[in-house]
Structure 1
Amino acid sequence: MAATSFILSALLVAMACVKASRVRAWRTSINPSASEVSDSSFAVARVLLLAMAALGVYTGFHNLAVADNGTWSDDELTSAVQGATQELNGSFEYGDPYDDGTAPADFDGEFATKLEDEITEHGGGDAPGYGVDASLTGPTTGTEASYRVTASGAGKTFCMHVTRKHTDDDADTVAPGLPGDKAQVTMPVYTYGVSSRVGEC
């Protein structure tokens, strides 16, 4: 679309540069009895053609900007992956109270979505808020996984390696029902280690 706008603008400029004598000669060859076109008419036509060409150039650059905002660049993805890595590395979450600290991580579902959202959030103002894909690659265990990270429009691919460790237990005292009836609930604490590099995993 942008290329079409630039081509049409170039044609309009070329038309505006055609000499009046050549246009008069062409009109006479087609219709000898046609009335003479005044110099002021040619001037007005040139102004209109140049104005339309300027509008076409503006439209072309606008379309380029829209296209750029709809895709990821390599620099945008690089910055977003680095920011997401720093944000997630060392982060923690609570497990289920019935978990004894050995439950496997949901690397294929919840964490993959979290990873994509975090990368998108760190994309910056010019990057689109969509188009990031983090897919599991290679062997995966309940505590370790690797993701192949790509984004629409970007040529680079990143590998993000994630580990999850049971690092602590958080005990809380709650009253499940009756007044004075207290019970202690213990929830495991898991800490994530995240690293990233350019290239395939």
Structure 2
Amino acid sequence: MSAVVFLFAIAAAFLVIALAGPYRLYWRARPHAGRQPSDAALAVGRIAAFGVAGVFVFGGCSVQAGVDQRSWSASEVREAAEDAAESMAADTQIRRDPTDGYTSLIKADVIQAGEDQGPSYGVSVEQAGDGHDYEISADGSGATVCMHVTEEESSEVGVFVPGADSGNSGSIPEYDLTATVDDGAC
């Protein structure tokens, strides 16, 4: 963050020089006996000072964008969790492992939803309790959101796998998921 402030401070200094005139500051302090630059040289110096100020502003904005990409904010975590909830509701799912629940599915959806928000390795999804409550957090945000998932058996046939349930049907049921997102831990 200090690098961003430093770059903007340098840009401000060059902007002052461009507005006051780069040579005017020097020649006013000197006696008029010396050779003063022409008006064209003063104009070129001003344009150059504006250009250098623009370069430092661009550099400051680029550094700030890089800093933003390395961390999540609380609103970005909530937005990605809400997008993941919508994504889960769009498709039917096969029941997951009871020890893991839908943790891996939620994590993949949050990472996909927050692709440009922050680093994917910073996303954490943990099952809270024995039900279908999941705590979602991300590095740098300092915020946790709670996603409650409800599953209902789908009216669709399911996935056909011969002998999957040791019965005659040979299909694994699919579930329609709905999810709600609340601020704070579960």
TM-score interval, smaller chain: 0.5 to 0.7
- Between structure 1 and structure 2, the one with the greater Rg is 1
Could you say if the C-alpha distance between residues 86 and 46 of structure 1 is closer, same or farther in structure 2, counting changes exceeding 3 Å? closer
The answer for unaligned runs of 5 or more in structure 2 is none
Across the two proteins, how many residue pairs are aligned to each other? 173
Higher strand proportion (structure 1 or 2) = 1
Query: 1:160 aligns to what SS in structure 2?
Result: strand
Distance in 2 between residues matched to 1:44 and 1:195, nearest whole Å: 61
- Cα displacement (A) at 1:160: 1.6
8 Å CA contact 2:23–2:45 kept in 1: the answer is no
Distance in 1 between residues matched to 2:142 and 2:161, nearest whole Å: 48
Q: Aligned match of 2:15 in 13, 16, 22?
A: 13
Task: Spell out, residue by residue over 1:91-136, the C-alpha distance to the aligned partner (whole angstroms, 9 max, x if none).
Answer: 32167xxxxxxxx61317xx32221111122236x42461321123
Could you say if the C-alpha distance between residues 20 and 85 of structure 1 is closer, same or farther in structure 2, counting changes exceeding 3 Å? closer
Q: Aligned match of 1:107 in 95, 100, 108?
A: 100
Q: In structure 1, what is the equivalent of residue 88 of structure 2? A: 88
The answer for unaligned runs of 5 or more in structure 1 is 29-33, 96-103, 175-182
Q: In structure 1, what is the equivalent of residue 181 of structure 2? A: 196
Identity of aligned residues (%): 20
Distance in 1 between residues matched to 2:103 and 2:76, nearest whole Å: 20
TM-score relative to the length of structure 2: 0.67
8 Å CA contact 2:69–2:119 kept in 1: the answer is no
Could you say if the C-alpha distance between residues 11 and 150 of structure 1 is closer, same or farther in structure 2, counting changes exceeding 3 Å? same
How large is the RMSD of aligned CA atoms in angstroms? 3.8
The within-5 A match list for 1:1-201 is 1-16=3-18, 17=20, 20=23, 22-24=25-27, 26=29, 36-40=35-39, 41-89=41-89, 91-93=92-94, 105-107=98-100, 111-123=102-114, 126-128=116-118, 130=120, 131-137=122-128, 139-140=129-130, 144-162=131-149, 172-173=161-162, 186=170, 188-189=172-173, 191=175, 194-201=179-186
